[in-house]
Amino acid sequence: MSFIKSKKVILLAIVSVIFLGSLLSISLKSPKVTNQKPTETSQNQEINPSIEADLDGDGIKETIKIITSENGQTILEAYNKLGEKIATVPREKPIPESFSYKAIKLNLNSNKEYIQWNRTAGAHQMETVFLTMNKGEILPIYGIDEIKKTAYLPFYSSRGDVVVGDLNEDGNLEVIEFAEEYPPDSPRLVDPEAEKKTMEVFGDNGEDAIKVFTRENYGIGRGRKVIWSIYSFTDKKEVPSFIKLQGNEFETLADKLVGAANEVEKDTFMKYTDLTQDSIDFNIFVRKFWNHGRPFETPVSENQAN
Ligand SMILES: [Ca+2]
Ligand SMILES: [Ca+2]
């Protein structure tokens, strides 16, 4: 349990990122999907955007070309210094178009770099995957729930981006997902005119869209910001993964973050395990609404468990 020793400086740095995230999300109240421009692209972004990252950790950066097709799906191709293609996103498993991406170290004690890939998933929803190179393929890194035996993808936050940082100072990065308190007794928005318009815009999904916006009620019904989950990166196994923190590990770290955040701005943060079941269910409902029911949790396969 070494991470109880977290230093305040790191906590405050993380908390400030959390606040930046909450500021960002405040400006995204409307139930329309926003189109954000890439913010962390390389210089030649117009025609052939690319990322420089040392995907195999040999000290030499590879060039990863970003190829977006007309239907908004993306293929990445990694090239070595000789210009030889050494890895690609499998054509049958393209990734969604991103609004920002960057090279990132997930184990601070290794040269190896990964790609962080972010996309907008809803009015104030973000999705993030981390990609790694393995045997000629560029593949996402799953979050593993060792109790439920499930593999999880993508990371998700409904209040700004996920936050990535070494919260417990063991050299491996953690990913924090944020969600909404959605207090069950918060006042619902009553606006028949807006409901009519929503039915027109969302068609078959109109009823669900109304459920979302009446409960969010221009942000009043979103309540406090919730630390939904924390995952810790590991490259100890053959396939790198993020392990979901559970029980005391989660509680200790989440309490520390919530405590530090609430010192700065009183009563604005809480953690997953203090949510009502109704609020948990509604968060999941909202996520499914914005991602059109795509599954984000599957039984862990042997490949992922190794
Ligand atoms: Ca390399
Ligand atoms: Ca860590």
Q: Locate the domains of the chain by residue range.
A: 2-186+223-305
Record the pTM. Answer: 0.84
Report which bound ligand comes closest to the CA of 60: 1
Note whether 140 and 160 are within 8 A (CB).
no
156 near 125, Cβ under 8 Å? Answer: yes
Ligand nearest to the CA of 81: 1
**Amino acid in position 24:** L
Nearest ligand to the C-alpha of residue 111?
1
Q: Which ligand sits closest to the CA of 6? A: 2
Instruction: Give the residues across from 242 on adjacent strands.
Output: 143, 233
φ, ψ for residue 18 (rounded to 5)?
Answer: -60, -45
Q: Which ligand is nearest to the CA of 231?
A: 2
Q: How many angstroms is it from 45 CA to the middle of ligand 1?
A: 22
Give CA–CA dist 143/152, Å, rounded: 5
Structure tokens at 58: 């040999």
Inter-residue contact 178 to 14 (CB < 8 Å): no
Distance 306 CA to ligand 1 centre (A): 24
Tokens for 226, please give them.
């919730």
pLDDT confidence of residue 301: 82
Q: How far is the CA of 223 from the centre of ligand 2 (A)?
A: 29
Q: What separation in Å is there between the alpha carbon of 184 and the centre of ligand 1?
A: 50
pLDDT in tens, the chain (306 residues): 333 333 433 443 444 444 433 333 333 322 333 333 444 444 444 566 999 999 999 999 999 999 987 777 899 999 999 999 999 999 888 898 888 999 999 999 999 999 999 999 999 999 999 999 999 999 999 999 999 999 999 999 998 889 999 999 999 999 999 999 999 999 999 999 999 999 999 999 999 999 999 999 999 999 999 999 999 999 998 899 999 999 999 999 999 999 999 999 999 999 999 999 999 999 999 999 999 889 999 999 866 655
CA of 56 to the centre of ligand 1 (A): 5
- For ligand 1, the distance from its centroid to the CA atom of residue 79, given in whole angstroms, is 9
Distance (angstroms) between ligand 2 centre and the Cα of 71 equals: 37
For residue 107, how far is the Cα from the chain centroid? 18
Contact 134, 241 (CB under 8 A): no
274 Cβ contact partners less than 8 Å away, ≥ 6 residues apart:
none
